[in-house]
Amino acid sequence: MNITIVKGRLEEQKADLLVVNEFSGVEKTGGATGSVNKALGGLLEKLMKEEQFNGGQRETLLVRTGGVIPGSRVLLVGLGERKDFSLETVREVSAAAYNTAKKLGARRVVSILHGAGAGKLSALLCAKAQTEGVRLAEYEFVKRKKAPEKKTPKVESWTIVSSDAAHVRAGARGVGEGELSAEGTIFARDLVNEPAGQMTPRHLALAAQNIAKVSKGAVRIKVFEAGQIEKMGMGGVAGVGQGSVHPPYFVHLIYKPRGAKKTVAVVGKGITFDSGGLSLKPADYMMTMKCDMAGAAAVLGLFSVLTRVAPKVTVHGIFGACENMPSGNAIRPGDVLKALNGKTMEVLNTDAEGRLTLADSLSYASKLKPDALVDLATLTGACMAALGEEITGVMGNDHKLTGAILQAAAAAGEKMWELPLEKRYKDLIKSEIADVKNIGGKYGGAITAGLFLQEFVDAEIPWVHLDIAGPAFAERPVNAYTRYGGTGAGVTTLIEFLKK
């Protein structure tokens, strides 16, 4: 599907579907919607009344034009209450319109630029949000499904039309930006959705290598194999990886544009499958655990578009890739591992494996002395208990950085909420025989996990930890553009953060 924005009038466009909108409680249509209504001799407003269309979000009205205008059908989508209107509404209604267009078998869709008229939002951001909504709604992971017998036609083109030349100019940039954030997100979704039998640590490392390869030198890469990981002293990655027949890898991607003054390191949790290890998970909890590399996938999603986003900062992408398996060679409860920074970790539960590998990744990243260090990890069920399935838990050692991440998340339309790194809870991860133990008490598991990670970050480096255990994988549809499976959580926030 091609997404473009052009100057013109909706009522003059040839299309299988024209998408227009209206706020809640409006009886007299205005703007582009009003023009379409006028061209239809008032049919739209008449049907709104007859069908009791109220403009609520998710309300739609489908109208056949009967050849009065070149577009054969009009889809009126509700924007909800004006006071609740935001770019997220634009993303949602655009995605919902795409889903309807697909169901109808519409090949050529022409849409209003939702939000830039009566919505009063910036045309650039509206075009970006519409592009994201449509692209992400288009996404599906069906490569292992038998080809459907009856193929419904694909939506071939999505044209945003505005009569305002300035909106079209700004909108064109917005479409470009939306394409990039959606592409990075989809890259991450694909990696997460791939079954763990295919997406082994080696495959995750290969995905990174491929990004470097196609970048033609703009992204460099270092890949460390099991032997080197051990030799370098990365006992966390080596330990967690030792139970699997698929050996671990450690990956370091480097994007260093000319003239870059600041450096950002982005670390991801890359457990390609989390069985729990010898502290084996119950069957129900294991079903979605191919998603446990979603942090690394977000790093790779970012790097897949980074040279085109082209921020003027150096970016390091870092992850350890391991499969957490029980076996005769697996780490045992009670084992002690030594991380890259020399600190020892008592493994009391082999299912708290993410923090063991992140200990090495964060130590490694600290050595690069970045101006900001961000990690993303599907780290704790406790974070899901605290914030639910849709909200990322944010913890950090620097208010400015945490604020910047929360701001970027808001701009990206990703839901995040800060949790405190309460110092007094450090007692809960004190070990009798090592520097730290990998489990806390009964309560506050997201925070004790965050405190554990903090042990491996140099105190003077601004650091923020994103626990994406909830949002990384959708066990049921979340909204019109996030269906079952990997969501690509974090990618858009990272892009927004680096742009600023």
Return the residue of 8, 326, 381, 403 that touches ligand BES, per CB under 6 A: 381
With CB under 6 A as the rule, give the number of residues binding ligand BES: 16
Piece in contact with ligand BES (CB under 6 A), picked from 24-32, 240-248, 378-386, 428-436: 378-386
Q: How far apart are CA 125 and CA 319, in angstroms?
A: 32
Beta bridge partners of 13: none
Q: How far apart are CA 388 and CA 209, in angstroms?
A: 34
**Side chain identity, residue 90:** V
Concatenate the DSSP letters of all residues of 101-119 into one string: HHHHT-SEEEEE-TTSSTT
For 161-252, where are the alpha helices, taking DSSP H only? 165-193, 201-214, 226-232, 235-241
For 311-396, where are the alpha helices, taking DSSP H only? 354-367, 381-387
**Side chain identity, residue 463:** W
351 binds Zn ion (CB under 5 A): yes
Question: Per-residue contact track with ligand BES, 250 to 289, x per CB under 6 A?
Answer: ------------------------x---------------
378 binds ligand BES (CB under 6 A): yes
176 binds ligand BES (CB under 6 A): no
Catalytic residue among 91, 290, 338, 355: 355
- Does residue 355 carry a catalytic annotation? yes
Residue 133: φ, ψ to 5°: -60, -45
241 binds ligand BES (CB under 6 A): no
Task: Give the residue among 33, 131, 30 at the shortest CA–CA distance from 76.
Answer: 33
Please name the residue that has the structure tokens 């520097």: 435
Q: How far apart are CA 474 and CA 234, in angstroms?
A: 32
**Side chain identity, residue 237:** V
- Does residue 281 carry a catalytic annotation? yes
Return the residue of 69, 175, 330, 352 that touches ligand BES, per CB under 6 A: 352
User: Which one, 271 or 339, has the nearer CB to Zn ion?
Assistant: 271
User: Which one, 63 or 428, has the nearer CB to ligand BES?
Assistant: 428
* Smallest gap from residue 33 Cβ to ligand BES (A): 42
361 binds ligand BES (CB under 6 A): no
Residues 354-373 that bind Zn ion (CB under 5 A): 354
Question: Per-residue contact track with ligand BES, 330 to 349, x per CB under 6 A?
Answer: -------------------x
Concatenate the DSSP letters of all residues of 434-489 into one string: SSEES---SS-HHHHHHHHHHTTS-TTS-EEEEE-TTTTEESS--BTTB-SEE--T
**Dihedral sign computed on CA atoms, order 96, 97, 99, 104:** positive
Catalytic residue among 102, 281, 343, 499: 281
Question: Per-residue contact track with ligand BES, 29 to 68, x per CB under 6 A?
Answer: ----------------------------------------
User: From start to end of 13-156, where are the E strands?
Assistant: 17-22, 60-64, 73-78, 108-112
User: Which one, 182 or 331, has the nearer CB to ligand BES?
Assistant: 331
The residue with its CB nearest to ligand BES is 381
Residues 285-314 that bind Zn ion (CB under 5 A): 292
User: Which one, 127 or 428, has the nearer CB to ligand BES?
Assistant: 428
* Smallest gap from residue 341 Cβ to Zn ion (A): 21
Question: Virtual CA dihedral for 272, 275, 281, 285, nearest 10 degrees?
Answer: 40
Q: How far apart are CA 301 and CA 293, in angstroms?
A: 12
Return the residue of 11, 92, 292, 375 that touches ligand BES, per CB under 6 A: 292
User: Which one, 95 or 322, has the nearer CB to ligand BES?
Assistant: 322
Residues 252-281 that bind Zn ion (CB under 5 A): 271, 274
The residues of the shown chain that bind ligand BES, judged by CB under 6 A, are 274, 292, 349, 351-354, 378-382, 384, 439, 445, 469
* Catalytically active residues, by annotation: 281, 355
The residues of the shown chain that bind Zn ion, judged by CB under 5 A, are 271, 274, 292, 351, 353-354
